[in-house]
Amino acid sequence: MKRAFRLIALLGLFAAGRVASAGNLSGTYVGLHANAADLLQIVERPDGALLGHFEQVILSGDGIGINRMNASVSGAVNADTLVLTLKPAEFLGGAIPMSGTIQVGAVQLSGGSGGNSFDLILRRSSLAVYSRHVQQLTARASEAAAAKAAKDAMAKTQNAIQDVTAWMRHYVRDADVHLRRMPKLSAAYARLTAKMQAALDDEAREPPNRVARAQIDVGISQMSVAFHQAQIGLQTLESSFGYAGGKITYPEAQKDIARAQQYCGCTGQALTPICGDFSTAYANFQATVSALRQDFANTESAWNAEDQKQQAIERQADRLNQGG
């Protein structure tokens, strides 16, 4: 697999040095650009052969990353003409042919590989100059990455606020349905107790050891079973709303609510639409939780009171059935 590199022309040049062809080409050559930096370190042997190292650093297109290329350099120079081959260090990196001319204190190179062409002007400079520019590019990438991370974090937080706002609204809608029904449960418990008492009265009027007494006793037991099944239904409903032991808890949602409160408590956020919706939903949610908690407690209290009465009725019914 070939790796393509975007090699771009130098936008600014350093002060001119000596004419390169007037002496040995060995040295460090640098190209600095707004979003990139090039480094060529080369040694010219007495026979005109060239060996060295090429490095390029480019800001990624989104500005939050750094792309690097390192390559070994080989080639030759003759008068003011040079021919080089770059061999990227990356695995399976293809060779990149280059040719150019020696200018005053600089080298001009062009070439290409794999459908990519490039032109470079590199001035005699130093590794320190190149390194400073790379540090600046790296700092820019880090700042851009931090800004993007902050933006992404804010978006994630806002999405979480919207999600917990929707959850609270759904909770309130479901709770409202049951809040309207809850008072009816207590009345239903009392009616069932009254029905069991009436059956007990009928059983008492029957002569001892009659089949009718046994039948009535069974009927009272069946009503007791239905009563306890109703309690199981109530407990299931309570669990679905997070109610237990006189409290309503919602640990997972509570974490999101706490984060939303922290975010919306920051300067400038309280009046945003997202935080405005959250605040309204949270106020309704708190009121609903309070009402629901009270209704669950009242309903359980009513069930317990009727349960005591019904247990007494069952015991009396059993005694009557046994000839008491």
pLDDT digits (tens, 9 = 90+) for 227-241: 999 899 999 999 999
| Dihedral sign computed on CA atoms, order 294, 298, 299, 303 | positive
Write the pLDDT tens digit of every residue in 43-68: 999 999 999 999 999 999 888 999 99
* pLDDT the model gives residue 216: 92
* pLDDT the model gives residue 91: 60
Measured CA to CA, the distance from residue 98 to residue 83 in angstroms comes to 6
Q: Tokens standing for 281? A: 């939903």
Burial classification of residue 90, based on how many CB atoms lie within 10 Å of its CB (0-12 exposed, 13-18 middle, 19 or more buried) = middle
Write the pLDDT tens digit of every residue in 265-280: 886 777 789 999 999 9
Measured CA to CA, the distance from residue 252 to residue 264 in angstroms comes to 19
Contact 246, 252 (CB under 8 A): no
* pLDDT the model gives residue 278: 94
* pLDDT the model gives residue 92: 60
Amino acid at 151: K
Nearest CA-CA partner of 186 in 77, 286, 301, 105: 301
Nearest CA-CA partner of 69 in 83, 54, 85: 54
* pLDDT the model gives residue 187: 92
Q: Tokens standing for 46? A: 């007495």
The pLDDT profile of the chain, 324 residues, written as one tens digit per residue, is 333 344 433 333 333 333 334 468 999 999 999 999 999 999 999 999 999 999 999 999 888 999 998 999 999 999 999 999 999 887 666 889 999 999 989 999 999 887 677 789 999 999 999 999 999 999 999 999 999 999 999 899 999 999 999 999 999 999 999 888 888 999 999 999 999 999 999 989 988 878 888 999 999 999 999 999 989 999 999 999 999 989 999 888 999 999 999 989 886 777 789 999 999 999 999 999 999 999 999 999 999 999 999 999 999 999 988 876
* pLDDT the model gives residue 94: 84
* pLDDT the model gives residue 324: 60
Count of C-beta atoms within a 10 Å radius of residue 117: 9
Q: How many residues make up the chain in this entry?
A: 324
Measured CA to CA, the distance from residue 75 to residue 60 in angstroms comes to 30
Domain 149-321 has CATH 1.20.58: yes
The helix/strand/coil state of 84 is: strand
- At residue 171's C-alpha, the angle toward residues 166 and 174, to 5°, is 125
Provide the residue ranges of all domains of the chain, joining segments of one domain with +.
20-125, 149-321
